[in-house]
Amino acid sequence: MVVSESLFYVVAAAALVLGNGLAVSGASENSKVKVWPMPASVSYGNAHLYLAGDFGLSSNHDSQILKDAFDRMLAVIKLDHVIDANFSAFDRSSLLQGLHIVVSSPNEELQYGTDESYKLMVPSPEKPGYAHLEAKTVYGALHGLQTFSQLCYFSITRRVLEVHMSPWTIIDQPRFSYRGLLIDTSRHYLPMTVIKKVIDSMSYAKLIHNLSLSRYLHTLNCGMVLIHPQSDIQRPMQLKFYAQKRGISVLAEIDVPGHALSWGVGYPSLWPSKNCQQPLDVSNEFTFKVIDGILSDFSKIFNFKFVHLGGDEVNTTCWTTTPRISKWLKRHRMNESQAYEYFVLRAQNIALSHGYEIVNWLGVGVAQRVVESGLRCIVSNQDRWYLDHLDTPWQEFYINEPLTNITNSKQQKLVIGGEVCMWGETADGSDIEQTIWPRAAAAAERLWTPFDKLAKNPREATGRLATFRCLLNQRGIAAAPLAGSGRAAPLDPVATDHFKANLGGSDTILPDLRHTRNVSGSGVGYGQGRTSTLEPLFRERESWKLSQLLAGEEGRSTARHRSGLPPAVEKKLPYLKINLAPPPTRIHHPILTTNPRIT
């Protein structure tokens, strides 16, 4: 089958319940709830609880995954603070002694379709003792731990960890099972430490079910194709287990027949010719032996059910201009399009022979057509969910709805989720975190939270996302400000104070002002091609004043962030467009990722 590079889940929204607290039923009523992504069902009160000095874990399930996750949770909520409160001075009824976790299933296999639901209950002060977390699987419990961690705050004055607004009851599960982040590991080297930090940050946002490593071949010893001799099978194995402990599956991509120029460095016969090196040689049997060898190695490492075979941005000119391949095409009575389809189907059959279901890229704006054909689909819009498009603000990520124009309930179920893509032409280990975050978090909520609980206007989610961005920073993740473009620099503190004093701005809406259009005489442009949804709120005078205020530092910042080839500047090549809708004789049904990068 064919799937995109990352995973996600379908959601059933549970109704909300509960006694002595406030029940939250809609996005407009969530102003006090700071959890990201917004849970399916929430109720809360107005009391304070404090975590006891020996706050601990108890569980019916002896799971090392759970124990390690609990220890990590305590570490991130303590934030290296010294917990030195005099606990004897606290009313015992206000102390939370620990967290009791009940997991129904002992099965710790992580696959697409694993149940991720959980129920979290934090008691009121009248009922001291333990908070309770119930889940069908350990991976649902991991989500519950992440939610609990966002309810905890360190009190500077009391020197203790607090839980505000108790009692809490949170019933939660994801809307889509496939909630993915693609990391392009081919174009710039990403150290393993950087990839692990990205995995950690994904778990905080519940972008947990899949991490896709695009073109993982380039850092993997696949036996037949060795790109980096220093790499061995242990590194990807370690990465897989590291991710699994955090509830994340690793989906690897072998992108064929395009994006494979480097293969010919070791095996020149994979190139059509020395002077025409892409795509892979469709006429050479050795090409398919190499693909088979790579997928054989993949199957020993990545046991997730999906593998991504790419298939996008294929310029077939080398096939028709290389005499040897041109003769092969004529002998087999194929034109370019038929040869491309032959290659894709043959690669798919190889993947099937290794027990994989397949993911391929398909064209722009085709989700509706794909599900009408009865195929599964992963949405990954180039204009809304490509993180290397620095001019796309978080608001655009948030409002991108995977089910747009898909009204048939059966067809809606074929959309298994979505994926944000961190293409690597202009990002490496030095700036990948701030390019991903916080914009990926906006997509994470779209994919996790029930539709009727989502903010109807991104402005309603601004404060909560700003809080989550600060949480990422506190946990060592270099998330950029909500303001401006991707990788935006923070506002100067003096400029911030000056703006609030003179223009009446607030911390909640100030970041969005840097999306306002550049006006005559301002000296620097901030919009980078896209204006904010908040722009109508501000007069040109205000836009001009802010631009004057920040022109110096922001001008340098903008120039730096825009260095290199902008994502929108693409080479105009005659890329082949193929309809991958399977013929009646096809024996499998791929999951299709929409919106390849070039159309």
Q: Is 401 a catalytic residue?
A: no
Q: Give, as one character, the DSSP assignment of residue 290.
A: H
Instruction: For residues 252 and 448, give the distance between their C-alpha atoms in angstroms, rounded to a whole number.
Output: 23
Instruction: For residues 453 and 568, give the distance between their C-alpha atoms in angstroms, rounded to a whole number.
Output: 34
Q: What H or E segment, with its residue span, contains residue 409?
A: helix 409-414
Catalytically annotated residue among 5, 313, 419, 554 = 313
Residue 8 contacts residue 179 (beta carbons within 8 Å)? yes
Instruction: For residues 234 and 460, give the distance between their C-alpha atoms in angstroms, rounded to a whole number.
Output: 45
Q: 408: Cβ–Cβ under 8 A, 6 or more apart, which residues?
A: 371
Instruction: Name the nearest CA neighbour of 533 among 431, 441, 425, 455.
Output: 455
Instruction: Name the nearest CA neighbour of 36 among 207, 211, 198.
Output: 207
> The tokens of 91 are what?
């009313």
Residue located via tokens 């206000």: 94
Asked if residue 236 has a cis previous peptide bond (ω within 30° of 0), the answer is no
Residue 381 contacts residue 4 (beta carbons within 8 Å)? no
Residue 347 contacts residue 588 (beta carbons within 8 Å)? no
Instruction: For residues 96 and 143, give the distance between their C-alpha atoms in angstroms, rounded to a whole number.
Output: 20
In sequence order, the β-bridge partners of residue 500 are: none
Give the count of beta carbons closer than 10 Å to the beta carbon of residue 569: 7
> The tokens of 579 are what?
């309809």
Instruction: For residues 166 and 129, give the distance between their C-alpha atoms in angstroms, rounded to a whole number.
Output: 13
Amino acid at 534: L
Residue 459 contacts residue 191 (beta carbons within 8 Å)? no
Active site residues: 313
